[in-house]
Amino acid sequence: MKIKAGIVGATGYAGAELVRILLGHPDAEIAAISSVSFEGQKLSDVYPAYYGLCDLVCGTQEEVVEQSDVIFAAVPHGLSQELAVQCVQAGKAFIDLGADFRLKDEAAYQKWYNGSFQYPELHEQAVYGLPELFREEIRGKKVIANPGCYTTAAPLALAPALKEGLISSEGMIADCKSGATGAGRKPAQNTHFPDLNEGFSAYKVAAHRHTPEMEQTLSRVCGKQVHMTFVPHLLPINRGILATCYARLNSGVTEADIRDAYSRMYGKEYFIRLLPQGKVADVKNVRCSNFCDISLHVDTETGTLIAISAIDNMGKGAAGQAVQNMNLSFGVEEQAGLKMVPPAF
Amino acid sequence: MKIKAGIVGATGYAGAELVRILLGHPDAEIAAISSVSFEGQKLSDVYPAYYGLCDLVCGTQEEVVEQSDVIFAAVPHGLSQELAVQCVQAGKAFIDLGADFRLKDEAAYQKWYNGSFQYPELHEQAVYGLPELFREEIRGKKVIANPGCYTTAAPLALAPALKEGLISSEGMIADCKSGATGAGRKPAQNTHFPDLNEGFSAYKVAAHRHTPEMEQTLSRVCGKQVHMTFVPHLLPINRGILATCYARLNSGVTEADIRDAYSRMYGKEYFIRLLPQGKVADVKNVRCSNFCDISLHVDTETGTLIAISAIDNMGKGAAGQAVQNMNLSFGVEEQAGLKMVPPAF
Amino acid sequence: MKIKAGIVGATGYAGAELVRILLGHPDAEIAAISSVSFEGQKLSDVYPAYYGLCDLVCGTQEEVVEQSDVIFAAVPHGLSQELAVQCVQAGKAFIDLGADFRLKDEAAYQKWYNGSFQYPELHEQAVYGLPELFREEIRGKKVIANPGCYTTAAPLALAPALKEGLISSEGMIADCKSGATGAGRKPAQNTHFPDLNEGFSAYKVAAHRHTPEMEQTLSRVCGKQVHMTFVPHLLPINRGILATCYARLNSGVTEADIRDAYSRMYGKEYFIRLLPQGKVADVKNVRCSNFCDISLHVDTETGTLIAISAIDNMGKGAAGQAVQNMNLSFGVEEQAGLKMVPPAF
Amino acid sequence: MKIKAGIVGATGYAGAELVRILLGHPDAEIAAISSVSFEGQKLSDVYPAYYGLCDLVCGTQEEVVEQSDVIFAAVPHGLSQELAVQCVQAGKAFIDLGADFRLKDEAAYQKWYNGSFQYPELHEQAVYGLPELFREEIRGKKVIANPGCYTTAAPLALAPALKEGLISSEGMIADCKSGATGAGRKPAQNTHFPDLNEGFSAYKVAAHRHTPEMEQTLSRVCGKQVHMTFVPHLLPINRGILATCYARLNSGVTEADIRDAYSRMYGKEYFIRLLPQGKVADVKNVRCSNFCDISLHVDTETGTLIAISAIDNMGKGAAGQAVQNMNLSFGVEEQAGLKMVPPAF
C-alpha cells in the first residue's frame, strides 16, 4: 500500500519538482494536486515536460487534504498555518516547504516575515526537517518544516567544525550563490532572461530572511546563540546553490582535524558527499538530485576554514529534502525515491 | 539474472550518459567500462557527478568484451568495426553508437567517412536501430547500428507524411539545431565557453555527413531514393536537438490528414509524444529522457508542412536509444530503464 | 549644431539601445526622453549600466515632441499614428520603430495588427526605412517606418538572388532564430530565465505578423507578389537574429552567379558584410553593432540556395537602423554614430 | 600625430579587446600586431567580429616593437621580461598585461610564478598601473605593470576603508567570481561549454597567485603588511568580475563613515561609480567598459563591511586599464578612447 501524497501548490517550481520525484518513488504515489493559479488545468499544460507522464488536473486544496496521507505545501509564506491545522485535524501528515514553521522564535518570525504564530501548539509540535542534523526528531512526526535552500546548504557546510569547537562561533560568513529557480516561477524583472543572463550580483545583502534560520540551526548545533553574515547572489543558471563559508580556525586546528570532524559527522550520510582533498564542490554535480557535496579548504596563512557546499536548490534545497522527510515520517527507507544519478552535463 | 552491460569509451559524453541510464536499469547492470584516455582512473574522477554512485575504474576494451553480455561502443568513427568482430566472435551483442555500421552503401560510407567496409558480412548482419521505424528488424539482433542524433530527430519528424504520400519526396529541408554536447567532450574552439555562449550559427551547411543517413532512412520509408537539404546549427545549450523540417504538401492534403497519419504511425509509441494542436516542440521538455516530441504545423498559404521534433541528443539521440535497442535485442521490456521524467526546468 | 533627438518609450529595450547609440553620435544629442511606465524617474535607475552617463529623467511624450528635431517612437504597436501626426504638424521628423507604418496594405494591417489606417495621408507619406534596398526613398523624408528585426534580416539575405531572377519566387523559407531581447523588456513566462535557459523552440509557426512585411519587401524587390514560409524561434541568448533562408535555384544557376549578384548589390554597403566562401554568419559577430553579416551556400545536390544573415536585433534590427535612417533623413554621414566595433566575445 | 600602438599577443582575449578599444581611440592608432599562434593570418580570421574593421595581419614581436611607440604585451606569464628589455632599449613604452612586473618582491614572484627577476633594474623602473590608487607614479612612465583582473576589483573595493582605518587589516576576505574569458582563449576542459554551462564552483581556493598581488596593493594602501583570504570562482558568463569583500569594522564605525571615506577617495574618479545606498553592483552594468562599480553594505549585527565591486575583467581588468595607463604614460586625456557606454543588456 503506497503512501498517498498530495501537493498543494503543484505548479510552482518546488511543487513541480515534487511531482517529478514522487512519480519515481517506489513507496508513494501522487493522490492529488492543487493550484490556485491553474485550477482545472492539467499539470502537463503548465509543464509540457510532463506530457503523458503526469496529466493530473489541478484541484482544490481541500481535495488534496482529503485524498492524501501526506500533504506537501509549496505555497507562499504565510498561507501554511491554516492548511497545517486542516491536515492535523484530519490526521494527515504535513510537510511545509514554506517558512511558516521554520523559526521557533515568534519575534524573529514577526520581524522577518511580518506574521504571527496563529496556532502556537502547532509550532510546538513542528520539527525542523534537516535530517543530517536532526534526524531522530523527525522520525514519525506529522508536522515538518522543510528548511530553505540557503539554510540547508550553509549550515551543513559549517556544522561539524562548529559542533566540535574547531572554529570560532563569531565571524562566520556565508557567501552564497543561487540558481534562478530559487526566485520562483513567477516572471519578474530580475529573472527576466535578458536581465539575468550574462549578469551576476548580490541581493538583500546582509538582509535576507534566511539569516535567522541559519543562525537558529547553527546555534542549536553549538549550544549557544551565534550570529553570522549572509550574502546571497543570483546566478544565471537554473539550479543549484553554492555556499562558500568562511570561519576563523581556533588555535592549533589543522586541516586533518577538520576532515576528521566532518568524517565523523557525515561519513555515513548517503546524501552528503565529502569530497577528497583537491576537489572543489560544484553545483553542476548535484543537479536534479538530493546530494549535498562538501569540499574543505584551509587557508593556513590567515587561519581560515573555507567550507564549500553545493546542493540543488530544488532537490536537497526543497523537494528532495521534503521527500526525505516524508520517508522519515512514514518509516520507509530514507533514500527511497531519491537515488537518482545527477546528470554529468 | 541481469544483463551484463559493458561500455567501450565510457568517458565520452555518450558513454557517460549510458552509465547514468544503466545505473537505474532494472534488468541490466554495468559489468565493465573502458577508456583510452582515462585507463586506470575512476569514472567519478572524470565525472564528479557520479562520485559514490559509479566509482568503476576504466579498464581496457578487451576486459569490457570479456565481462559483458552486450558491448556499447561509444568510440570515434572508424574504430568500431574491429571491436564488432571481437564481440561477434565472442558471442556478445554489439551496439555501436558511432557511424561505422549505419550506412548500407559502402560508397557513401567512403565518401563521407573516408573508410571502407572491412567485414562486409558484419555490415550485412547489422541492423539500423531506429525502433519506431524498424522495430521488428531489431528484436533479438546482435549487431545494431545506433542512429545519429540528427538522423533520429529529422526522419522521425517526416516519416509518417512521407510514407503515406502526403508530401512531396522532393524539396524536403531539415533545419536542425543541436546542443553543445553533440560536439563531444573534447575541448575545441567552437565549443569554448566564451566563443559559443551568446553566439549562434550554422556549420557544415548542406555538407554534414548525417545527410546520407537521413536520406537512407527516408528512402526506406517511402520506397524510393530521396534527397534532402540538411543544415545543422550549434546552440548555446547543453542538450537537445530541434529539427524544424519543411516539406511541400501534396495537392489537397489537409492538416487533419497529416495529424491522422502521424497518429496511425506513432499513436502507440511510448517514446514519441505527438503534441496537440497549438503546442510547439521544445528541447527543454525532453532533456535527460528518451522522448521525441513532435509538433505539426501547416502553412496553408504556401502549402508547406512544418514538422518539428525535439529530442535529447544524448538520450533518444544516443544513449537512451542505445538502451532501447539493447532492450529489444535481449527481449526485455522496451521501456525498461527509460521511464525517467524529464526535469521541468 | 547637433540634431536634437527625442525618444518616446526610452525605457524599452529599443529605446535604451537608441540612447546608447545616440550618446556616441557625433552629430546628434539626446534632447528628451519619455516613458509611460517610468515617468519622473531617471533612465539610469531603470538601466544602471547608464549610471553617470545618461541620468536624464523620463518626461512626457509631449515634452519629447516639443524639444526634439527628430522623434523616435519605441512604443507598442498601435500607438504611433497619433504621435506621428503631432510630429508632422510640429514640423519634426518621425521615425517609428513599431509596425504602424510598415505595411502599405491596410487590409494586411487590419488582419495582422487588428487596426486601421487612421491618417491615410500619413501612410502615403511614410517611407520604409531599409536603406540597403530603398535608400533613395528615405533621404530627407520625415516619416519613416523602421523595419522589424526579422524583416530586416531575411529580406536582406534573399533580395539579390530574387532581384536577379536566380531563384524561384515560390517556395522561399525563412527559418529564423531570435535572441530574447526581441520579446521586449516586460517579463513574461516564455522569457523567464529558468523557462528559456537551456530551452529552444519555435513559436507562431507560419503565423507571425512579420510574414506580410517580408513578403511586401521581397515583392517590391522582384516586382511581383510573392509568398513565403516564415518560422521564428526563440534563442537563449540576449541579442541577435540568424535568418537561415532557403530558396530553389533556377536552372543552371551556379554559386558563382549567386556570389556575383550579391557583390553587385551589396559590395559597397558599409553595413553589409558578405562573408567569404567557407565562412558562416554568426550572431556573435554583429552584437552591439549595425552590421548584417551574410554567408552564401549552395546545395548542389538539391538545387537549393541557403543564404544566412546575422544581425543584432536591437542594432540593425531596431535602434541602429533607426539611427541610420535619421542620418539619411537629415543628410549627415550615413554611418555617423554607427561605427562601433562588435565585441569579439 | 597619433600614438602608434602595437600589440604583442593580439589574438588572445586581452589582445583582441585592446584592438577593439584602440580602433575607437581618438589619439592612438594600431601600428602593428603579432601572434605566435596565428602569424601570417589576419586578425579578422581569428575574430570574425572584426571583419572589415581590423584586417591587420599578425606579424612578429620584432615588427611590433619596431613600428610602435607603445607596446602592449598580452603574452603568457614569464615571456614579458625579455620583451620589456627590447622595448626599453628601443626607447619605446611598454605596458605589460601579464604578471612579470607586478610583484615587487622577487621571493613572492618565485613562489607563485616559479620565475626570477632577470633584469632587476627593470623591476625597479616598473610602476604598478592602478591609476585610482597610484596615479601620480604612472604619469609619463615607460614600463608599466598592468594589474590583474581580481587584483583590480578587490583592492579597489577595500582601499578607502582600509586607508582610513575604518576596518581591521586582519581577516579581510575577497570572495570573487569571474567570467570565463578570464581563463583565456585556449580551450580547456573547465571552460568547455557543456562543462561550465549550468555549473558554478570555486577553484584554487586560497591558493590563487593573485593573492600576493592583492596583499601588496593593500599593504601599500595602509602602510603595513596585510594578509587576506582570496577565493575565486568561475561564472558561466563571458565577461565580468564581482568581488564580494568582507572586513571587520573597527569599533564605532558607521555606514556613513564608510560612505564618506569612499566619496573622498573616489568621488572624482571617472571610472569608479559609487552606487547610491540600496543599489548593488552587478557585472552586467560594466560590460565592455572601463568602469568599476562599487556598492557598500554594512552588517550592523556582526560589525562587518561588505564592499562589492564589479568590473569587466577584459576592460578595467585588462585592456581598458592598459589603455588608461597608456593615456597616463603619454599625457593624453586619461579617459580618451574609454568613454564607451556599457550595453544595458
Q: Is the pLDDT of residue D33 over 90?
A: yes
B240-250 pLDDT tens trace: 999 999 999 99
For residue D252, the Cα-to-chain-centroid distance in whole angstroms is: 34
Considering only the beta carbons, identify the residue of B200, B240, B242 that sits closest to C242: B200
Q: Do D344 and C275 touch (CB under 8 A)?
A: no
The rounded distance, in Å, linking the Cα atoms of C221 and C218 is: 5
Q: Do B194 and D181 touch (CB under 8 A)?
A: yes
Mean pLDDT score, A63-69: 98
Contacts of C202 in chain B (CB under 8 A): 242, 244, 280-281, 308
- Cβ neighbours of A107 (radius 10 Å): 10
The rounded distance, in Å, linking the Cα atoms of A314 and A218 is: 22
The reply to whether ipTM tops 0.95 is yes
B274 φ, ψ (degrees, to nearest 5): -80, 115
Considering only the beta carbons, identify the residue of C194, C229, C237 that sits closest to B299: C229
Is A87 a known active-site residue?
A: no
The rounded distance, in Å, linking the Cα atoms of B11 and B39 is: 10
Sequence-separated (6 or more) residues with CB below 8 Å from residue B209: B99, B112, B113
Q: Which of B149, B176, B245, B292 is the catalytic position?
A: B149
Q: Smallest Cα–Cα separation from D139: which of D343, D337, D334, D288? A: D334
Checking DSSP bridges between strand D228-234 and strand D201-202, what pairing results, if any? Answer: antiparallel
Contacts of D282 in chain A (CB under 8 A): 199-201
Q: Is residue B78 within 8 Å of residue B118, measured between CB atoms?
A: no
Burial class (CB in 10 A: 0-12, 13-18, 19+), D168: middle
Q: Smallest Cα–Cα separation from B259: which of B297, B208, B223? A: B297
- Order of strands, sheet of C241-248, starting from the edge strand that comes earlier in the sequence: C201-202, C228-234, C172-178, C241-248, C304-311, C292-299, C272-274
pLDDT of residue D77: 86
Average pLDDT, chain D: 97
The rounded distance, in Å, linking the Cα atoms of D10 and D19 is: 7
Helix (H) or strand (E) holding B130: none
Considering only the beta carbons, identify the residue of C203, C238, C242 that sits closest to B280: C203
pLDDT of residue A215: 98
D60-69 pLDDT tens trace: 999 999 999 9
Q: Cα separations (Å) of D339 from D50, D274, D324?
A: 20, 17, 11
B80 φ, ψ (degrees, to nearest 5): -85, -30
Q: Is residue B166 within 8 Å of residue B250, measured between CB atoms?
A: yes
Helix (H) or strand (E) holding A330: helix A320-330
What are the start-end ranges of the E strands in C158-251? Answer: 172-178, 201-202, 228-234, 241-248
The rounded distance, in Å, linking the Cα atoms of A123 and A117 is: 7
Mean pLDDT score, D312-339: 98
The rounded distance, in Å, linking the Cα atoms of A302 and A174 is: 17
Q: Which residue of B has its CA nearest to D192?
A: B192
Under the banding of pLDDT at 50, 70 and 90, the label for residue D244 is very high
Q: How does DSSP classify residue B58? A: P
Strand partners, C292: C272, C311
Strand partners, D273: D293
Checking DSSP bridges between strand D3-8 and strand D228-234, what pairing results, if any? Answer: unpaired
Q: Which residue of D has its CA nearest to C181?
A: D345
Mean pLDDT score, C76-100: 95
Q: How far is D213 from chain B (nearest CA, A)?
A: 26
Under the banding of pLDDT at 50, 70 and 90, the label for residue C250 is very high
Q: How far is B46 from chain A (nearest CA, A)?
A: 10
Residue range(s) occupied by CATH 3.40.50.720 in chain D = 3-147+316-330
C17 φ, ψ (degrees, to nearest 5): -70, -35
Burial C166-202 (b: 16+ CB within 10 A, else e): bbbbebbbbbbbbbbbbbebebeeebbbbbbbbbbbb
The CATH number assigned to the domain with range B150-313 reads 3.30.360.10
Q: Smallest Cα–Cα separation from B190: which of D44, D190, D185? A: D185
Q: Smallest Cα–Cα separation from D149: which of D214, D103, D207? A: D214
Q: Smallest Cα–Cα separation from D9: which of D105, D97, D134? A: D97
Mapped onto helix, strand or coil, the DSSP state of residue D167 is strand
Q: Do C244 and B175 touch (CB under 8 A)?
A: yes
A184-232 pLDDT tens trace: 999 999 999 999 999 999 999 999 999 999 999 999 999 999 999 999 9
Q: Smallest Cα–Cα separation from C74: which of C22, C13, C21, C120? A: C13
Mapped onto helix, strand or coil, the DSSP state of residue C82 is helix
The rounded distance, in Å, linking the Cα atoms of B259 and B277 is: 9
Q: Is the pLDDT of residue C238 over 90?
A: yes
Q: Do B287 and A49 touch (CB under 8 A)?
A: yes
Q: According to DSSP H, which parts of B9-165 are helical?
A: 13-23, 43-46, 61-67, 80-89, 106-113, 120-125, 131-138, 150-163
Contacts of A343 in chain B (CB under 8 A): 17, 20, 49, 288
The rounded distance, in Å, linking the Cα atoms of C184 and B315 is: 34
The rounded distance, in Å, linking the Cα atoms of D155 and D167 is: 13
Torsion over CA: B91, B92, B95, B100 (sign): negative
Q: Do A242 and D199 touch (CB under 8 A)?
A: no
Lookup result for grid cell 511545509? A96
Subunits that touch chain C (at least 3 Cβ pairs < 8 angstroms)? A, B, D
Under the banding of pLDDT at 50, 70 and 90, the label for residue D245 is very high
Under the banding of pLDDT at 50, 70 and 90, the label for residue D78 is confident
Under the banding of pLDDT at 50, 70 and 90, the label for residue C77 is confident
pLDDT of residue C338: 98
Q: Smallest Cα–Cα separation from C284: which of C225, C237, C323, C325? A: C237
- Cβ neighbours of D333 (radius 10 Å): 11
Work out the percent of chain D whose per-residue pLDDT is above 70: 100
C339 φ, ψ (degrees, to nearest 5): -95, 15
Q: Cα separations (Å) of D265 from C44, D160, D258?
A: 23, 6, 11
Q: How far is B104 from chain C (nearest CA, A)?
A: 20
Q: Do A282 and D198 touch (CB under 8 A)?
A: no
Q: Which of D149, D176, D245, D292 is the catalytic position?
A: D149
pTM (2 decimals)?
0.98
pLDDT of residue B117: 96
Q: Which of A54, A87, A149, A176 is the catalytic position?
A: A149
Q: How far is A45 from chain C (nearest CA, A)?
A: 13
Average pLDDT, chain B: 97
C105-129 pLDDT tens trace: 999 999 999 999 999 999 999 999 9
Lookup result for grid cell 540593425? C316
Q: Do C273 and D343 touch (CB under 8 A)?
A: no
Torsion over CA: B269, B270, B272, B278 (sign): positive
**How would you classify residue B201: left for phi > 0, otherwise alpha for psi between -120 and 50, otherwise beta?**
beta
Contacts of C343 in chain D (CB under 8 A): 17, 20, 49, 288
Q: Is the pLDDT of residue B102 over 90?
A: yes
Average pLDDT, chain A: 97
CATH class held by domain B3-147+316-330: alpha beta
Under the banding of pLDDT at 50, 70 and 90, the label for residue C44 is very high
| Angle formed at CA A264 by CA A253 and CA A174, multiple of 5 degrees | 60
pLDDT of residue A315: 98
pLDDT of residue B77: 86
Q: Do C205 and B297 touch (CB under 8 A)?
A: yes
Mapped onto helix, strand or coil, the DSSP state of residue B144 is strand
Q: Is the pLDDT of residue D287 over 90?
A: yes
Work out the percent of chain B whose per-residue pLDDT is above 70: 100
B292 φ, ψ (degrees, to nearest 5): -125, 110
Residue range(s) occupied by CATH 3.30.360.10 in chain A = 150-313
Sequence-separated (6 or more) residues with CB below 8 Å from residue A268: none
Q: Is residue A71 within 8 Å of residue A98, measured between CB atoms?
A: no
Sequence-separated (6 or more) residues with CB below 8 Å from residue A78: A98, A100, A113, A115
Burial D192-204 (b: 16+ CB within 10 A, else e): bbbbbbbbbbbee
Q: How far is D274 from chain A (nearest CA, A)?
A: 15
Q: Do A344 and B50 touch (CB under 8 A)?
A: yes
Mean pLDDT score, B241-270: 98
Q: Which residue of B has its CA nearest to C294?
A: B201
| Half-sphere exposure in the Cβ direction for B314 (13 Å, CA) | 27
B207-244 pLDDT tens trace: 999 999 999 999 999 999 999 999 999 999 999 999 99
Strand partners, D127: D144
Burial class (CB in 10 A: 0-12, 13-18, 19+), A240: buried
pLDDT of residue A77: 86
The rounded distance, in Å, linking the Cα atoms of A285 and A294 is: 11
Q: Treating both helix axes as pointing N-terminal to C-terminal, what angle do A13-23 and A320-330 enclose, rounded to 10 degrees?
A: 50
In the chain, the amino acid numbered C120 is P
Mapped onto helix, strand or coil, the DSSP state of residue C335 is coil
Average pLDDT, chain C: 97
Q: Smallest Cα–Cα separation from D343: which of D275, D289, D293? A: D289
Q: Smallest Cα–Cα separation from D59: which of D21, D15, D7, D131? A: D7
Q: Is the pLDDT of residue C102 over 90?
A: yes
How many Cβ pairs closer than 8 A exist between chain A and C?
A: 56
Q: Do A273 and B24 touch (CB under 8 A)?
A: no
Q: How far is C235 from chain D (nearest CA, A)?
A: 15
Q: Give D264-267's long-range contacts (Cβ < 8 A, gap of 24+).
A: D264/D160, D264/D164, D265/D159, D265/D160, D265/D163, D266/D132, D266/D160, D266/D294
The rounded distance, in Å, linking the Cα atoms of C155 and C243 is: 9
